[in-house]
Amino acid sequence: MALEAGVRSAFARAIGAENVIDDPVRCRSYECDGLTGYRVVPELVLLPRDAEAVAAAVRMCAQHKVPFVARGAGTGLSGGALPVADGVVISLSRLKRVLEVDPVNRRAVLEPGVTNLEITAAAAPHGLYYAPDPSSQQVCTIGGNVAENSGGAHCLKYGFTTNHVLSMEVVLPDGSVVTLGGDTAEQAGPDLRGVFLGSEGTLGITTKITVRLLRTPETVRTLLADFPSVSAAGDVVSDIVAAGIVPAAVEMMDTLAIEAAEEAVHAGYTVGVPAALVVELDGPVEECDVQFEQVKAICDKHGCTRLHIAGGPQERAAIWRGRKAAFAAVGRISPDYFVQDGVVPRTRLAEVLDRIARMGRDAGLRVANVFHAGDGNLHPLVLYSAAAGETERAEKLSGEIAELCVELGGSLSGEHGIGTDKACSMPKMFGEDDLAVMHRVRGAFDPDGLCNPGKVLPTPRLCGERPGRYRPHPLEESGVIERL
């Protein structure tokens, strides 16, 4: 059932025909985000130019009961911006003004389409920066970061998007506009801002975001260290933590990931070593001096085979370029790959890596590992060739790795989100009651179920249904959801 012509023209009237894409070929450009395995062509793509137009578009959706999906840069890796059949995409790519940088109160006010890196660029002249730094920071938008509660390499010390957003102007699914949060982190009443952050676009659309800015650290020390084994590198991380040091970042890459990254950006990684650690300390000079020596000693103790200390901002940038390009760079060593995103308690890193290696061997597939070692966030990349018919095997392995993380006391996702990709795995991590309560909260924001439906929480239509015999989904049985 496609949108009626009258409804289509109503959208054009609401936000201007020049801001509506209704040509089916053009709409296909929006059929997937960074996760290309899921594709749905939207009926329309709306490109509002300001917050008022976003609200007008959402009101139109509410009036005609048209499901909608907000989209930023479309870099998400969990299919969170996958369009809904018979629905519209609301692209925030034209809301990209930095509205204000307030160096005195250390905050910036942004439209949702501003990229993560542009925030820091706008703040830099004042000696300030925006801390969360997802690997896609040069392209991902702050609106998307809010939806996904994005992390990044430095969130071990500095926290996630949720710890840095003070307030948001939000268009609720009924088209009304509210502010969540305020000028200070502490606000009276239940923290709706916190619930909205990381809700993956299912509770509304942000149109204005106020973030905290931090003072650029006095000094930053970055080292790249090679190790004879992944477990040796893991021991280094444990010892750093045990020494009471909170590094700005601790990142680990294994042989395959190093090979790919090095091929892409020639950042000075040693091709062929079993594991490399990137450790970064920042803060006052005196503090960094002391801790950096400790870290170097810990690296030596665990058989570090090469220790490269970034000599300046350019070398530091090169190290990070290598790390941040690693995902996409894997495209250079494998025709196809799945990016996984799971979390385990840090103390179980060695165990999980061991089991992943075994599972990979059993499946006959290579797995490259890139991870935020400080917080146990793994990004196993399952390499495969679709042409060789390995797709299903690879997808299965990737899914099993995520579920292994849950089994070891971790999480299905550390930063990429649940989206479309993992909604059906949620029952592995949460019980029926847990999910039912999340449904209730969703219903409080979006009673008509129009806002990014089908994402985050499992629905029988997407997960439970099998052809043939009718089997009621547990959530149906508990009366939380209805079969459509």
Partner 1 sequence: MTTPAGSPETKLPQNGPSAFDAHHPPQRDLLDDCVHCGFCLPTCPTYQLWGEEMDSPRGRIYLMDLAAKGEISLEGPFTEHIDRCLGCMACVTACPSGVQYDKLLESVRPQIERNVPREKSDKLFRDAIFALFPYKRRLRAAAVPGALYQKVRATRLGRRVLPRILDKLPARLAATESLLPPVQLKEAFARLPVYTPAVGERRARVALLSGCVQDVFFHRVNEATVRVLAAEGCDVVVPRDQQCCGALELHAGRESGALARARRTIARFESLDVDTIVTNVAGCGSSMKDYAHLLADDPEWAERAAAFSARVRDVHEVLADLEPRAPRHPIRGRVAYHDACHLGHAQKVRAQPRAVLRSIPDLELLDLPEAELCCGSAGIYNMVAPEAAADLGARKAANVRSVDPDIIVTANPGCLLQIGKHLTGSETDPERAPVPLLHPVQLLDASIRGTVVPRT
Partner 2 sequence: MTAADDTTAPTTLRPTDLRSVREAVLDSAGGLAIAGAGTAAAWGGDLDAVDSVLDMTGVTGVIAHNPGDMTVSVHAGTPLRRLNSELAPHGQQVSLDAARIARGATVGGLVATADAGPAALVHGSLRDLVIGTTVVLADGTVARSGGHVIKNVAGYDLAKLVHGSYGTLGVLVEVVLRLHPVPKRTTTVALDCPLAEASGHARRVLDGPYEPVALEWRSDSDGSGDGPAATEAGRLLVRVEGTEDALSGRARRLRAALGPAATEIAADAEAEEWAAHAERVRGGPGHAVLRLGALPSALPGLLAALPGAATPDAALTIGLGTGVATAALPADAEAIEAAHRAVHAAGGTSALRDRPTGFGGPAWGPAPSAVGVLKAVKTALDPAGRFGPGRFAPWFELTSPGRTT
CB of 442 to partner 2, least distance (A): 7
| H runs (alpha helix) in 65-149 | 116-123, 142-148
* All residues at 6 or more sequence positions from 32 whose CB lies less than 8 Å from its CB, including other chains: 38, 39, 40, 74, 79, 82
The answer to whether the beta carbons of residues 136 and 182 sit under 8 Å apart is no
Residue 23 sits in the site that holds partner 1 (CB under 8 A): yes
CB of 93 to partner 2, least distance (A): 23
In this complex, which beta carbon is closest to partner 2, that of residue 43 or of residue 169?
169
Among 423, 425, 397, which Cα is nearest to 336's?
A: 397
CB of 472 to partner 2, least distance (A): 19
CA distance 60 to 263: 49
CB of 45 to partner 1, least distance (A): 8
Q: What is the dihedral of CA 211, 212, 213, 219, to 10 degrees?
A: -130
Number of residues that bind partner 1 (CB under 8 A): 55
In this complex, which beta carbon is closest to partner 2, that of residue 27 or of residue 236?
236
Identified binder of partner 1 from the candidate list 2, 17, 290, 386, rule CB under 8 A: 386
Across-strand partners of 226? Answer: 276, 306
* All residues at 6 or more sequence positions from 60 whose CB lies less than 8 Å from its CB, including other chains: 10, 11, 14, 66, 175
In this complex, which beta carbon is closest to partner 2, that of residue 347 or of residue 391?
347
Residue 86 sits in the site that holds partner 1 (CB under 8 A): no
Question: Residues 113 to 132: which contact partner 1 by CB under 8 A?
Answer: 113, 115, 117
Identified binder of partner 1 from the candidate list 172, 304, 325, 438, rule CB under 8 A: 325
Residue 28 sits in the site that holds partner 1 (CB under 8 A): yes
In this complex, which beta carbon is closest to partner 1, that of residue 247 or of residue 449?
449
Residue 425 sits in the site that holds partner 1 (CB under 8 A): no
In this complex, which beta carbon is closest to partner 1, that of residue 209 or of residue 349?
209
Among partner 2, partner 1, none, the one that 63 touches (CB under a kind-dependent 5 to 8 A) is: none
Among partner 1, partner 2, none, the one that 386 touches (CB under a kind-dependent 5 to 8 A) is: partner 1
CB of 42 to partner 1, least distance (A): 10
Among partner 2, partner 1, none, the one that 315 touches (CB under a kind-dependent 5 to 8 A) is: none
Residue 465 sits in the site that holds partner 1 (CB under 8 A): no
Question: Residues 341 to 380: which contact partner 1 by CB under 8 A?
Answer: none
| Residues in contact with partner 1, shown as a per-residue x/- string from 52 to 81 under the rule CB under 8 A | ---------------------xxx---x--
Span near partner 1 by CB under 8 A; candidates 112-120, 171-179, 230-238, 438-446: 112-120
Give residue for tokens 């103790």: 301
CB of 39 to partner 1, least distance (A): 5
Strands 336-339 and 342-343: unpaired
Among partner 1, partner 2, none, the one that 308 touches (CB under a kind-dependent 5 to 8 A) is: none
Among partner 2, partner 1, none, the one that 286 touches (CB under a kind-dependent 5 to 8 A) is: partner 2
AA letter at 304: C
* All residues at 6 or more sequence positions from 350 whose CB lies less than 8 Å from its CB, including other chains: 230, 231, 234
Dihedral over Cα of 225, 226, 230, 233: its sign: negative
Identified binder of partner 1 from the candidate list 362, 392, 434, 477, rule CB under 8 A: 392
Among partner 2, partner 1, none, the one that 462 touches (CB under a kind-dependent 5 to 8 A) is: partner 1
In this complex, which beta carbon is closest to partner 1, that of residue 392 or of residue 448?
392
Backbone angles phi, psi at 224, to 5 degrees: -120, 120
Give residue for tokens 């079993």: 274
CB-CB neighbours of 17 under 10 Å: 10
Residue 431 sits in the site that holds partner 1 (CB under 8 A): no
Among partner 2, partner 1, none, the one that 299 touches (CB under a kind-dependent 5 to 8 A) is: none
CA distance 358 to 364: 10
Question: Residues 144 to 203: which contact partner 1 by CB under 8 A?
Answer: none
Applying CB under 8 A, the residues found at the interface with partner 1 are: 21, 23, 25-26, 28-34, 36-41, 45, 47, 73-75, 79, 82, 91, 93-94, 96, 113, 115, 117, 136, 138-140, 264-265, 325, 327-329, 331-332, 335-338, 386, 391-392, 394-395, 420, 454, 462
